[in-house]
Amino acid sequence: MLKTAQRAPDQPVELNRCYDHAVVIGSGIAGLTAARVLSDFFNQVTIVERDRLESPEDFRQGVPQGRHVHTLMPRGQSILEQMFPGLLAEMAAEGAIKIDARTDIAYFQNGRWQTPQRRTTSIASSRPLLECIIRRRVMALPNVSVITSCLVDGLKTDAAGRQVTGLRLRPRRDANFNENEVTANLVIDTSGRGSKAPQWLADLGYTPPEEWRINPFVAYTSRLYQAPANFSAWKTLYIPPEPPHGTRGGIIVPMEHGRWCATLIGVAGDVPPNDAAGFEAFAQSLPAPSFYEAIKDARPLSHPNGFQRTENRVRRYDKLPRYLEGFLVAGDAAIALNPVYAQGMTAAAQSANALQQSLRAQQQQSPDALVGLAADFQQKLSQVNYRLWRIATTQDWDWPITEVTDDSED
Ligand SMILES: Cc1cc2nc3c(=O)[nH]c(=O)nc-3n(C[C@H](O)[C@H](O)[C@H](O)COP(=O)(O)OP(=O)(O)OC[C@H]3O[C@@H](n4cnc5c(N)ncnc54)[C@H](O)[C@@H]3O)c2cc1C
């Protein structure tokens, strides 16, 4: 029996690292939490990241959604706190703000201000702050390292094409690693919505996953403001879009350093403009005046920034007819959710939990090999994320424009 079996991954236990080298593609929330889990089972874990990761709190090119509202929901908080004890206190010390749904949110729906029924507490901060604190924890682990400024370009396999053996790399000029390949016993793709894993598998003769998409055509445009001094009317303002015809909404969420992230939301192709005048005009058109009233006298800290890659998309890696052994896919690369429900980072953390469960079972049954792990993990992942998929897609059906694509029907 493994000594790690009954404990959270953070506990000081005698680890049984029976596997050699794992490589994680991407250092977003899914990649960092996967690396945390893998570090208990592998002698060495390497993260390969296309960005430079130089200035820890900057918005990153590889995470364009990071400029928009990112709140961490309760389930995500509890998984992350278990993985990184003290993380929530550390976030609070660096300026993250607790939001109690019943007391801190001004919530306007159905033509009136309402008190949300559920007593949930979310954590508001910039996405770079959350990522930076988690990254610091992961990089402090002695057996984890990161290759930066390096694009992963494809998979390498053994001669029979059955087992992954590493990755093909394209290091940029400023990369801290200059080889074009890295070897590994396990590769996990957490490269986000832009993941090329289906193509990589197809190039190797594997059937790529079927894909389902449910798209209500949600667009975000966000702008940062310095919150006015002594503002205390609410911590978060939320005017959700309301199907089937209320295509416009907005949310203002506090961030560290006294800032607001003010996000306009348009659904069904009603895209909030990217220029300052258009942003303000859209804000004035919301069902309640409070959003515009809040921003009109606040000092802008950025230009409005738009984002439209928001559809719910699941790639059915749990239903592949044949698996490339040792190759796993998690986070947005496997299941990406409409951001309006703020569940994506929780889904990423849940991916890491599923990985831990699969690795524990694998270690007990087969401490010398990783055969069977890929199929087991993708099935566990689909089970744990099914609830979040339901949360994110149920209301989306109420928009008449919602487009459903199911590749398995082609
Ligand atoms: C507008 C918007 C708002 C959101 N708001 C919330 C919210 O409030 N709460 C919430 O929980 N979730 C929210 N989400 C969802 C959340 O952003 C994602 O679910 C989460 O970031 C997924 O993490 P990930 O690690 O899978 O992918 P990502 O965070 O996208 O990370 C992927 C990483 O892979 C790297 N990468 C990509 N390709 C390569 C390659 N070929 N080689 C090497 N590295 C590569 C990228 O640089 C990046 O670092 C929001 C999403 C959007 C679009």
Q: Alpha-carbon distance 206 to 324, whole Å?
A: 8
Which residues have a Cβ under 8 Å from the Cβ of 386 and sit 6 or more positions away? none
What's residue 409's pLDDT? 54
**60 CA distance to ligand 1 middle (Å):** 10
Segment 112-127 shows an average pLDDT of 90
Q: Alpha-carbon distance 294 to 297, whole Å?
A: 7
Q: Alpha-carbon distance 267 to 325, whole Å?
A: 40
**312 CA distance to ligand 1 middle (Å):** 13
214 CB within 6 A, ligand 1: no
- By the 8 A CB rule, do 236 and 104 touch? yes
What's residue 56's pLDDT? 67
- By the 8 A CB rule, do 329 and 197 touch? yes
Angle, CA of 67, 73 and 78, to the nearest 5°:
125
**394 CA distance to ligand 1 middle (Å):** 22
Q: Which of 50, 315, 343 to mutate to test the pocket of ligand 1 (most atoms within 8 A of CB)?
A: 50
- Map tokens 């190039």 to a residue: 203
Lowest model confidence (mean pLDDT) among 17-21, 35-39, 212-216, 387-391? 387-391
* CA-51 nearest atom, ligand 1: 47
* CA-343 nearest atom, ligand 1: 11
**Does 140 score more than 60 pLDDT?**
yes
What's residue 17's pLDDT? 87
312 CB within 6 A, ligand 1: no
Q: Alpha-carbon distance 260 to 286, whole Å?
A: 18
Three-state SS annotation for the chain = CCCCCCCCCCCCCCCCCCEEEEEEECCCHHHHHHHHHHCCCEEEEEEECCCCCCCCCCCCCCCHHHHCCEEECHHHHHHHHHHCCCHHHHHHHCCCEEEECCCCEEEEECCEEECCCCCCEEEEECHHHHHHHHHHHHHCCCCEEEECCEEEEEEEECCCCCEEEEEEEEECCCCCCCCCEEECCEEEECCHHHCCHHHHHHHCCCCCCCEEEEECCCEEEEEEEECCCCCCCCCEEEECCECCCECEEEEEEEECCCEEEEEEEECCCCCCCCCHHHHHHHHHCCCCCHHHHHHHCCEECCCCEEECCCCEEEECHHHCCCCCECEEECHHHCEECCHHHCCHHHHHHHHHHHHHHHHHHHHHHCCCCCCCHHHHHHHHHHHHHHHHHHHHHHHHHHCCCCEEEEHHHC
* CA-351 nearest atom, ligand 1: 26
131 CB within 6 A, ligand 1: no
* CA-347 nearest atom, ligand 1: 19
Domains of the chain, earliest start first: 19-83+130-214+310-409 (3.50.50.60), 98-125+229-307 (no CATH)
**68 CA distance to ligand 1 middle (Å):** 11
For ligand 1, atom 37: residue with the closest CA = 191
What confidence tens digit (pLDDT) does each residue in 50-91 have?
A: 999 877 667 888 998 999 999 999 999 999 999 999 999 999
Q: Which of 332, 340, 346, 388 to mutate to test the pocket of ligand 1 (most atoms within 8 A of CB)?
A: 332
pTM: 0.94
What confidence tens digit (pLDDT) does each residue in 262-286 have?
A: 999 999 999 999 999 999 999 999 9
What's residue 410's pLDDT? 52
307 CB within 6 A, ligand 1: yes
Name which of 28, 76, 40, 176 is nearest 384 in CA terms: 76
- By the 8 A CB rule, do 193 and 64 touch? no
- Map tokens 């939301």 to a residue: 265
For ligand 1, atom 30: residue with the closest CA = 192
**26 CA distance to ligand 1 middle (Å):** 9
Residue 408: pLDDT band (50, 70, 90) is: low
Q: Alpha-carbon distance 183 to 164, whole Å?
A: 9
Burial of 368 (0-12, 13-18, 19+ CB in 10 A): exposed
Segment 135-158 shows an average pLDDT of 97
What's residue 394's pLDDT? 86
135 CB within 6 A, ligand 1: no
Tell me the two tokens of residue 40. Answer: 């208990």
